[in-house]
Chain A
């Protein structure tokens, strides 16, 4: 029986694992891919910390910016903790060898010699009152993830790769481990643990075809928490990133605007302050597009040399996927789903409400630091700072937890369920529904919402849940069955869909990323979190 089981091997999971290991726990990290495949690699722009390396900045300003952008829906204590932890989180990464971009300081004799983090470069992001985002070109997430992974190998953290989370094992409200499908062998396995950290990422892939997220961002851990009796909250708050490439939905970092890029319409006119928070910029673009305008990102004036220094990845992706050279041409963009603010409802120790000994960190968790709208640069901070915090707290729980493993009831149940999926005739292709669900969400649960459309969406989703019973797999192989994994992922997305829509219907106001026609103002009556939990099955 392992002390701390970490589910999910992205930045949050690896940070949790390292902290738990450092505290003295035995740790196992289980993920459905390899650690370095995770979506953390896709984060580009940077990681906020009020170091004040470029211009005056204070932790209090970071806190104030974050609270302002959250539109009254954050837990201010949690925001304070995250922002106050930021400088020492950067310091920790520095000691691991994180390859941050650096500042020229040779002429500044008064500030030399400096503590090592003082030479870290910082850039402007939307909604920030100072240049606050530490970065590594536009590869910040990639380099963070690999630095954490290298450190995990150094510290001897154990990994179980290619294992898909099926269910948490929760007899009597306390977590005792989880069940997984070994993707390679097709076996259902049980991992016994004294405490669990869920770090499985967000649910942006519900917007299949209209998201910057990777295929697998289907909220697997959030769905597992709901099934196990835990709570989720703020599910209606989905961030749309203003600038994804028009045809491929591939992300163009906010740092492109932070570094001075403009948004223009067909007439070449700028129509919004590009450095406002993402919700406002995304809506401004949406309104332009509704008027029939095409919208572009213009970074030509930055010049090729600067673009290659600051945004090499963007330049490459624009060339491959849009046939556009950003140094010479306009980049066609549109806003698409990018980040789930909502997720697993946790308390101040990041322990899941409704499941003792189970913690959640990163995008899957709603630690209430982002509220109604996340600031660029705060997610990499959250996964690292709160990933570590979750790992520490999970270890503390493990110290006093019972070491008696759970029986194999959950495993048997899950084995039977998988068997049933193999036996199910594949009447309807779930791939068609996956596409339909993505379109439905983008159209009706998108940037600008209306109650009648939300209600239609809810009906369609419920119809899909009924149809789901007819959906099987065409591939009957037991080993390496990606078809089966994709069905399980789709089922998770479909399970979360009504939670998102019903919370959006209930919220008759506009706040941050949730904007509703007919209710365009913030309403004090809704200055609260909508928390959802499944009723206990009565035996």
Chain B
């Protein structure tokens, strides 16, 4: 079977031939590097969908190379909205910047013996492996590179609703600018998350938390709808909010 990979040096897609049979894309990339082309560059780690290193785009959709099974004719490209360092390897240092800006950590510990129900509130959110798939799929980055983005907002939400967080307002305050209101709720992030996390829902919930802490949707207030609490608790139903 033949697959095609976008090479950064030439800016063109290069075809590679693989033996038939079902293999993960990552194994295919390793096979190509070992036997055909040592210059093909990609990042890889655990092979088990948990280290977040190997996300790429296959036929325009974000996939972990280690769990995606190669099909004939697949077109493999690097993640979007990340500077490409070489071939499929991108610069992911932006994650640190957005997490810092969103202050996505426990600000002030308050003793509370969590129940299973309380832990389940953020169980899915803490499955995040920072693979950057959601950033690549998020169309907001096409118009606003300063957007905090799905995983940072999911993480912000995760700490905000942790019962042990004594200062949730600090986190909520940190995600107002280029953050929680700038999402269009298109759900692309949710569709591509390899861990089944739903950042769209988390962002919606984080809007509700924002309203609880006295913030409001800036695009609503500028549109003069008259009532300050428009939006029923901050759930953004306007798909173009923030643009």
**The residue from A106, A150, A429, A431 contacting B105, defined by CB atoms under 8 A apart:** A150
- Is B46 a contact of A214 with CB atoms below 8 Å? yes
* A420 contacts partner chain B, Cβ-Cβ < 8 Å: no
Residue-wise interface mask of A (469-511) relative to B, using a CB-CB cutoff of 8 A (1 in contact, 0 not):
0000111010111110000000000000000000000000000
Residue of A nearest to B27 (CB): A248
Q: How far is the CB of B94 from chain A (nearest CB, A)?
A: 11
- Contacting pair A480 B115 (CB below 8 A): no
Q: Decide if B119 touches A146 in the complex (CB within 8 Å).
A: no
Docked complex Cα distance between A117 and B112 (Å)? 9
Q: Does A161 contact B (CB under 8 A)?
A: yes
Chain B positions 188 through 232: 1 when the CB is less than 8 Å from some CB of chain A, otherwise 0: 000000000000000000000000000000000000000000000
Q: Give the residues from 96 to 116 in chain A that come closer than 8 angstroms, CB to CB, to chain B.
A: 96-97, 99-106, 112-116
CB distance from A128 to the nearest CB of B (A): 22
Identify which of residues 42-82 in chain A touch chain B, using a CB-to-CB cut-off of 8 Å.
42
Of B33, B46, B128, which contacts A39 at CB under 8 A? B46
Kindly state the separation between the CA atoms of A355 and B165 in the bound complex, as whole angstroms: 42
Taking a contact as CB atoms under 8 Å apart, the answer to whether A41 and B105 are in contact is no
**Judging by beta carbons under 8 Å apart, are A477 and B111 in contact?**
no
Q: Is B130 an interface residue (CB 8 A)?
A: yes
A249 neighbours in B (Cβ, 8 Å): 47
B44, B122, B155, B162 — which one has the most chain A CB atoms within 10 A of its CB?
Answer: B44
Chain A CB within 10 Å — which of B35, B51, B85, B96 has the most? Answer: B51
Is residue B93 within 8 Å, beta carbon to beta carbon, of the partner chain?
yes
Given contacts A119-B115, A480-B41, contact A248 B47 (CB under 8 A): yes
CA gap between A293 and B52 in the complex, in Å = 36
| Interface status of A313 (Cβ within 8 A of chain B) | yes
B105-163 at interface with A (beta carbon < 8 Å): 105-107, 109, 111-116, 118-119, 122-123, 126-130, 155, 159, 162
B105 near A139 with CB under 8 A, answer: no
CA distance A102 to B126 in the complex (A): 15
Indicate if the CB atoms of A42 and B46 lie closer than 8 Å.
Answer: yes
**A42→B50 contact, CB < 8 A:** yes
- One of A151, A214, A317 near B51 (C-beta < 8 A): A214
Asked if B92 CB lies within 8 Å of chain A CBs, one says: yes
A114 B50 Cβ-Cβ under 8 A: no
Contacts A150-B106, A214-B46, A320-B49; is A36 near B164 (CB within 8 Å)?
no
Q: A104-B115, A153-B96 are in contact. Are A313 and B109 (CB under 8 A)?
A: no
Q: How far is the CA of A142 from the CA of B127 in the complex (A)?
A: 8
- A38 close to chain B: CB less than 8 A: yes
A410 at the B interface (CB under 8 A): no
Cβ-defined contact, A41 with B52, below 8 A: yes
Q: Are B38 and A101 neighbours in the complex by a CB distance under 8 Å?
A: no
What is the minimal beta-carbon distance from A313 to any residue of chain B, in angstroms?
7
Q: Which residues of B contact A38 (CB under 8 A)?
A: 51
- Bound Cα distance from A53 to B19, whole angstroms: 53
In contact, A482 and B112 (Cβ under 8 angstroms): no
- For A151, the chain B residues whose CB sits under 8 A away are 105-106
- Name the residue of chain A whose CB is nearest to the CB of B97: A153
CB-based contact B100/A153 at 8 Å:
yes
Interface size on A, residues (CB 8 A): 67
The answer to whether A250 touches B48 (Cβ under 8 A) is: yes
CB neighbours of A526 from chain B (8 A): none
User: When the two chains form their complex, are residues A41 and B129 in contact, meaning their CB atoms are under 8 A apart?
Assistant: yes
In the bound complex, do residue A36 and residue B52 qualify as a contact, i.e. CB atoms below 8 Å apart?
Answer: yes
Q: For residue B119, which residues in chain A have a CB less than 8 angstroms away from its CB?
A: 99-102
Complex Cα spacing A484 to B48, Å? 24
On whether the beta carbons of B52 and A37 are closer than 8 Å, the reply is yes
Cβ proximity bits A135-162 to B, threshold 8 Å, 1 near / 0 not = 0110100110010001101100001010
Closest Cβ neighbor of A319 among chain B residues: B67
A251 surroundings in chain B (CB, below 8 A): 48
CA distance A118 to B39 in the complex (A): 53
CB < 8 Å: which of A95, A116, A150 contacts B114? A116
Nearest CB of A to B87, in Å: 8
**CB-CB < 8 A to B238: which residues of A?**
none
Inter-chain CA distance A46–B113, complex, in Å, is 19
Contacting residues, chain B, for A159 (C-beta < 8 A): 96
Q: Which of B48, B105, B114 contacts A102 (CB 8 A)?
A: B114
Q: Does A88 contact B (CB under 8 A)?
A: no
> What CA separation (Å) do A429 and B103 show in the bound complex?
46
Instruction: Determine which of B34, B96, B104, B113 lies in contact with A118 in the assembled complex, contact meaning CB atoms within 8 Å.
Output: B113
17 contacts between A and B (CB under 8 A): A33-B45, A36-B130, A37-B51, A39-B46, A102-B118, A113-B113, A116-B112, A119-B113, A151-B105, A151-B106, A184-B85, A215-B44, A316-B49, A321-B67, A474-B37, A475-B41, A482-B33
Extra inter-chain contacts (9) besides given A39-B51, A95-B164, A139-B50, CB under 8 Å? A34-B93, A41-B51, A101-B119, A103-B116, A119-B115, A161-B93, A320-B67, A474-B37, A483-B38
Give A contacts to B, CB under 8 Å.
Answer: 33-34, 36-39, 41-42, 94-97, 99-106, 112-119, 121, 136-137, 139, 142-143, 146, 150-151, 153-154, 159, 161, 184, 214-216, 248-251, 313, 316-317, 320-321, 426, 429, 431-432, 473-475, 477, 479-483
Measured CB to CB, the residues of B under 8 A from A are 24, 33-35, 37-39, 41-53, 67, 85-86, 89, 92-93, 95-96, 99-100, 103-107, 109, 111-116, 118-119, 122-123, 126-130, 155, 159, 162, 164-165
